[in-house]
Structure 1
């Protein structure tokens, strides 16, 4: 058994002995102490040990049941896939077929698809005999799927050591704030949230794990902010992980007096670029926000701001378990917790991983990012612009929900915009654009824009399943609209 996994098991057992009656997990209608958590996990680990080896797929909503099976797979060293709740049926099929899963646990609404994939119900499990054995890289504990820039998710194979090192360092980073109640906002199929829960368990904190609908979360990018804000307030959460759009909603609500900072002590934000203006707004209202950076291929978190080591504008210093260097072309390279490989591709043998992100390290070791290397465009004046930078400024203004910025070979930058309020006037959108432009250098500013006819969506192919723009698809679909701006 890997050293980090043995450490994690020992720590859970120690929590059971020393704080056995303390609250470990709270779901929608259930509460479990640390003693009960251990009993539930070990019961499921035994059930898994009685089944033939193979990959376990968990197609379950957030809740204690999902966590128990996830931990059971981890401690029994069975490779596991947690399917993101926002994946389409076609993406779920791809994940299950590619990993060669022979065991599945799923919500009732997924049972029809399980049958279509050849699974048969046996006790708690859905079981099948895969058409062909799939060779996972040796030591694979979890296959996490990242939707990337195409519709077909890529299976990232990680070992237990890589994930648990990250969880341990996340716990150490938040330790000065002493959060004791951690609310899981994102689906556990998102690796960042999965490891955030592990970190809370390492700390011996209580994990609040509610169904996504209870939090107002729907699909990849649909949010009922009233319900989410209510859940955060009622849960008494002291710590949580957010993506920038969720942070923007929380900050705006606090500014408007709709909710309070309350007991929140440590709010980590990542997943996409965060506007410096949004971080400044969070600081002004006393919300303790710490921006970080990571990617699934490096077991999620690579760098993180933290109490006593906070540098606004940066994504923090690299965590102790990783090394970061900057290539000659500005690309960020990482070593320390690199993936074992992608499913269906050769095993990764290199120590260093080229992230595809552009950035630099300052003299004190803080990492700054400048967007994706492949998304950078060059204007007709020869200036390099990373559109994510501009899009973050636009979408974190509180007015614009979605932004697509383009300027390859053009004398001015163009934007396609969709407002948070579909009824917002063009004047309100223009004012938001002007405010965003005020914080940008002239070569990065939006010089002309048009309102999209409707929001970008995964179903029409203009967004990835986790809400990132598919740039080539947007250019193709809205070529005429972009051409009209140039006229």
Structure 2
């Protein structure tokens, strides 16, 4: 968004889901905030639950899923006034001016052993601002600290290897190279400075290859499938929690 603003293009973000029949919040000319998805459209009410989940009330919400009462009851909760709040499954907050900011998916929120709620996407997106990191997945539910799996951006890391005169045959060699690990340590250390102490990454491991859609590790839109990646790397993750 900063880039689009810089080149003079007006881009307005919005938020909604199939179950809300389209958008429920939107930005408009003169009503934008970078990082937000706008303010509620007329006739739409929002509230944030104690756990951060975004709920929506309005005539645009569906009345339920076809022949699926269980899913309907999870989605729609009585509001005590004869209507229903739709539970989006997204976590976020509303600022003092009514702008909605989305943080993560509720099911992805990490609760550390110390009881801190952590939105992994924020950390992962921060780490991916490094040109050397292509994918990142934070782990730490019910754990004393956060760890992370990362994959390397092949173009950038091979350029680094050439500049440092590192001998290698393939990307797998670079994931084990001491200079590359040292570089990533520096990257993570610097990014940690932008995070709260309980959000900082204490340990990480570099995967030998990119996350693969053929292995069901990412969606067609390249979103990480956390359960699959965790299952495929159980030993690697467990090793980061051994003393």
* Interval containing the TM-score (normalised by the shorter chain): 0.7 to 0.9
Report the secondary structure of 2:31's partner residue.
Answer: coil
Report what 1:302 is aligned to. Answer: 24
Residues 1:468 and 2:223 aligned together = yes
Larger radius of gyration: 1
Task: Identify the match of residue 450 of structure 1 among 202, 205, 218.
Answer: 205
**Per-residue deviation, residues 452-475 of structure 1 (Å, max 9, x unmatched):** 122222321222343222222221
Task: Identify the match of residue 441 of structure 1 among 186, 193, 196.
Answer: 196
Taking the aligned partners of 1:309 and 1:423, their CA distance within structure 2 comes to 38
Query: Is this contact kept in 1: 2:132–2:156, CA < 8 A?
Result: no
Cα 1:288/1:399, change in 2 over 3 Å: farther
Task: Identify the match of residue 112 of structure 2 among 368, 379, 384.
Answer: 379
Residues 1:292 and 2:47 aligned together = no
Report the secondary structure of 2:215's partner residue.
Answer: coil
Structure 2, unmatched stretches of 5+, are 77-83, 158-179
Taking the aligned partners of 2:12 and 2:99, their CA distance within structure 1 comes to 13
Taking the aligned partners of 1:314 and 1:300, their CA distance within structure 2 comes to 17
Cα 1:282/1:399, change in 2 over 3 Å: farther
Number of aligned positions between the proteins: 209
**Per-residue deviation, residues 56-99 of structure 1 (Å, max 9, x unmatched):** xxxxxxxxxxxxxxxxxxxxxxxxxxxxxxxxxxxxxxxxxxxx
Task: Identify the match of residue 407 of structure 1 among 131, 135, 140.
Answer: 140
Query: Is this contact kept in 2: 1:339–1:348, CA < 8 A?
Result: no
Cα 1:470/1:344, change in 2 over 3 Å: farther
Report what 1:318 is aligned to. Answer: 40
Report what 1:338 is aligned to. Answer: 61
Report the secondary structure of 1:329's partner residue.
Answer: coil
Residues 1:369 and 2:102 aligned together = yes
Q: Once superposed, what is the RMSD of the aligned Cα atoms?
A: 2.8
TM-score, L = length of structure 2: 0.72
**Per-residue deviation, residues 402-426 of structure 1 (Å, max 9, x unmatched):** 1110112222211111123266144
Residues 1:394 and 2:127 aligned together = yes
Report what 1:196 is aligned to. Answer: none
User: Whose helix fraction is larger, Structure 1's or Structure 2's?
Assistant: 1
Query: Is this contact kept in 2: 1:419–1:429, CA < 8 A?
Result: no
Taking the aligned partners of 1:454 and 1:474, their CA distance within structure 2 comes to 12
More deviation in 424-433 or 459-468? Answer: 424-433
Report the secondary structure of 1:303's partner residue.
Answer: strand
Q: Equivalences for 1:120-139 in 2 at 5 Å? A: none
Report the secondary structure of 1:403's partner residue.
Answer: strand
Using the TM superposition, give the Cα deviation of residue 356 of structure 1 relative to its aligned residue in structure 2, in angstroms: 1.1
Report the secondary structure of 1:459's partner residue.
Answer: helix
Using the TM superposition, give the Cα deviation of residue 399 of structure 1 relative to its aligned residue in structure 2, in angstroms: 3.3
